[in-house]
Structure 1
Amino acid sequence: MFRFENPEFLYLFIAMPFLVAFYIWSNIKKKRDVEKLGTLSLLKQMMPDLSLKRSYLKFWLIFAALCAGIFMVARPQFGTRVETVEKKGIELVIAIDVSNSMLARDVAPDRLTRAKQILTRIIEERKEDQVALIVFAGEAFVQMPLTSDTQSAKLFLNSIDPGLVPVQGTAIADAIQLGINSFSSEKNVGKAMIIITDGEDHEGNALEMAKKAADQGIMVNVVGIGTPEGVPVPEAQNSNDFKTDNEGKVVVSRLNEHMCKEIAQNGKGLYVRADNTNSALRALQAELEKLQKKDSTSLTYSEYDEKYAVFAWILLGLLIIEILIYDKKNPLFKNVHIFK
């Protein structure tokens, strides 16, 4: 697979025919100016060291270097790059609530988007960890199994929306159970879960499941998102219409902070409430840093491999050749007749 990372620079090729046209026009004008002084054959005899072929070659070398430079800044990319990376981190399972109540806008721009922003920052700052993603509403599903490829984790996270889980509800217990099953059997490594939810319409035995995770050495942290006062739930992410119940009343979603705190307490983890600052993020990072880390070797895949260096070397080579070619014959090579 081939592509240009910055294809907009390829529009510079539009200027190249004009550059050639200008060069041809300037040569014609120069030739006419010279003919005013005398015939070309006589002038060549008066300036034996001057070579028009050298001038032409220098132009086309510059022209080719400019073309190589355009390809270089457009950043051609080809194939797949595989790297072996040494890492030292923990195992981290992230479970994100995707129920319809997460579309509420009591945090900007809405709960789900803000949750994804927080989790993206966490993943970016914890590049040494192995990460798994779980989505849940009325049911829980593994969106991405445990991996050290944090770039893929961010891509999966960005694709999350309420449509991934059609069954509504807040099955935190199922998410924790699925999280427990997602960890490796490795003993000498810190293991933690981050559950980000509004805790509303809570179902199942989440408190017992959090305690079960803690008993297995898994720290369960909860990020509560929303406000206890609550706001109406939109019909869709960018809709100005709000959901109504069977009696026609607007549905208001409130953060169940009490439940979130109890889950974190039973899971021997931290509860933080997400807002429009980074305080929740800093608190979580500090808590995760306390866990034991382990060394690991993993393969990291990058979908495209940069090839701009090839054109950079071509450009450099062409410029060096152009510099070494004089407009007139070099006295050091007066007996070498490459250009006549």
Structure 2
Amino acid sequence: MFRFANPEFLYLLLVLPALVVFYIYAVIQKRRAVKRYGNPALLAELMPDVSPKRQHLKFWLSFAAIALIIFVIAGPQFGSKLETVKRQGVEIMVCLDVSNSMLSEDVSPSRLDKAKQMLAKLTDGLSNDKVGMIVFAGDAFTQLPITSDYISAKMFLSSISPEMISTQGTAIGAAINLAARSFTPNESSDKAIIVITDGENHEDDAVGAAKMASEKGIHVNIVGIGDPKGAPIPMGSANNYLKDNAGNVVITKLNEQMCQEIAAAGNGMYVRADNTNSALRALQKEIEKMNKTEMDSKVYSEYDEQFQILAWIALVLLIADVLTLDRKNRIFKKIKLFS
């Protein structure tokens, strides 16, 4: 398990592009200044010891050293000891619709992106709970088995796209059935399924699947995302939308009635996601109401610092920067390392 002890220092990496821009600007200004004095080719002959390539090298040595120093102070660490600990929490399986209709932009920036943003914030609010993820369209498969590793959860979440499943459709029932089988066996903690979907092209017995999950003590909560009035589905380039066989633009609509029926059968809640954070707050309240019980979690209890190699490389680069002169060394002038 890899992590940074002080990840907030990674924001300093934003300085690096600014350094490149500043250096390019300085080089351009320097060339303009030289041109004001005369022909650059003639001036170069008058200054045979000046080496522009050495100056470029010195900058990139300093640039690389600064980048490595930022990583060093961020504190790279690898987990060295895995332990089973007791935690008070709940188990949550998220089922995310990745059908093409989720690309619709009736919710900003799109239905799918809004869902991913909401789940990222929901994950940030978890502490001792376990979370897993299932993606579905015409079929469903497990994207992330249930875990307490929130870093992995957010990493898998960021990579989700409609291209993951070639079969189009909205197999909500298959996703719920798979989620119900994905919880930790023999775990007594409260369990919940969160389905995020627009409910369109519904094609299997989602209500029956939700009812079966409820009979096992699993609450099925539905987050409907989209606009009941409908919106087109962007396809690739700008102003290009999905069309049917007759050439008409396909309009995708949030099927709220179906979503509400599934939530009722699953003894859960239904909430509609819009451009506010109301759906996120509703989910957080629902999770807070769940009974947290003691469960086992695998966690890294010890971490080894891994900054030493980066620190040595940065030191070597800084020494090389100091030893690299702006001008050619008269002693080593005949060695053509730089021109």
TM-score by length of structure 1 reads 0.67
Instruction: Find runs of 4+ consecutive structure 1 residues off by over 6 angstroms.
Output: 1-5, 309-312
Structure exhibiting the larger radius of gyration computed from Cα positions: 1
Paired residue type of 2:269: L
- Are positions 1:245 and 2:244 aligned together? yes
Separation in 1, partners of 2:286, 2:190: 11
Paired residue type of 2:165: V
Separation in 2, partners of 1:224, 1:281: 12
Aligned to 1:331: none
Separation in 2, partners of 1:214, 1:205: 14
Q: Is the 8 A contact 1:234 1:243 kept in 2?
A: yes
State the shift of 1:281 in Å. 1.0
Aligned to 2:176: 176
- Which runs of no fewer than 5 residues in structure 2 stay unpaired? 20-65, 312-339
Q: Is the 8 A contact 1:8 1:74 kept in 2?
A: no
Q: Counterpart of 1:235 in 2: which secondary structure?
A: coil
Aligned to 2:154: 154
* CA-to-aligned-CA distance 1:31-86 (integer Å, 9 cap, x gap): xxxxxxxxxxxxxxxxxxxxxxxxxxxxxxxxxxxx9x957865352544556455
Q: Counterpart of 1:234 in 2: which secondary structure?
A: coil
* CA-to-aligned-CA distance 1:125-158 (integer Å, 9 cap, x gap): 1121111100000000000111111111111111
Q: Is the 8 A contact 1:9 1:73 kept in 2?
A: no
Aligned to 1:55: none
Aligned to 1:267: 266
Q: Counterpart of 2:96 in 1: which secondary structure?
A: strand
Q: Relative to 1, partners in 2 of residues 1:262 and 1:286: Cα closer, same or farther, differing over 3 Å?
A: same
Q: Is the 8 A contact 1:10 1:71 kept in 2?
A: no
- Which runs of no fewer than 5 residues in structure 1 stay unpaired? 15-66, 313-340
* CA-to-aligned-CA distance 1:84-112 (integer Å, 9 cap, x gap): 45531101000000000000000000000
Q: Relative to 1, partners in 2 of residues 1:74 and 1:197: Cα closer, same or farther, differing over 3 Å?
A: same
Q: Is the 8 A contact 2:106 2:227 kept in 1?
A: yes
State the shift of 1:212 in Å. 0.4
Aligned-residue sequence identity (percent) comes to 49
Q: Counterpart of 2:181 in 1: which secondary structure?
A: helix
Separation in 1, partners of 2:153, 2:309: 31
Q: Counterpart of 1:243 in 2: which secondary structure?
A: coil
State the shift of 1:309 in Å. 9.6
Q: Relative to 1, partners in 2 of residues 1:70 and 1:182: Cα closer, same or farther, differing over 3 Å?
A: closer
**1:26-175 matched pairs, under 5 angstroms:** 70=69, 74-75=73-74, 77=76, 79-82=78-81, 84=83, 86-175=86-175
TM-score by length of structure 2 reads 0.68
State the shift of 1:282 in Å. 1.1
Q: After superposing the two structures, state which structure 1 stretch, 184-193 or 118-127, moved more.
A: 184-193
Separation in 2, partners of 1:200, 1:2: 40
Q: Is the 8 A contact 1:75 1:307 kept in 2?
A: no
Aligned to 2:213: 213
Q: Relative to 1, partners in 2 of residues 1:177 and 1:2: Cα closer, same or farther, differing over 3 Å?
A: closer
Q: Is the 8 A contact 1:82 1:299 kept in 2?
A: no
**1:270-285 matched pairs, under 5 angstroms:** 270-285=269-284
Paired residue type of 1:196: I
Separation in 1, partners of 2:250, 2:71: 55
Separation in 2, partners of 1:143, 1:105: 24
Separation in 2, partners of 1:3, 1:96: 27
Aligned to 2:203: 203
Q: Relative to 1, partners in 2 of residues 1:207 and 1:73: Cα closer, same or farther, differing over 3 Å?
A: same
Separation in 2, partners of 1:9, 1:111: 29
Separation in 2, partners of 1:116, 1:171: 19
* CA-to-aligned-CA distance 1:147-183 (integer Å, 9 cap, x gap): 1111111111111000111100000000000011101
Q: Relative to 1, partners in 2 of residues 1:245 and 1:212: Cα closer, same or farther, differing over 3 Å?
A: same
Paired residue type of 2:259: C
Q: Relative to 1, partners in 2 of residues 1:276 and 1:310: Cα closer, same or farther, differing over 3 Å?
A: same
Q: Relative to 1, partners in 2 of residues 1:199 and 1:2: Cα closer, same or farther, differing over 3 Å?
A: closer
* CA-to-aligned-CA distance 1:179-209 (integer Å, 9 cap, x gap): 1110122352100000000000001110011
Q: Is the 8 A contact 1:9 1:74 kept in 2?
A: no
Separation in 2, partners of 1:173, 1:307: 46
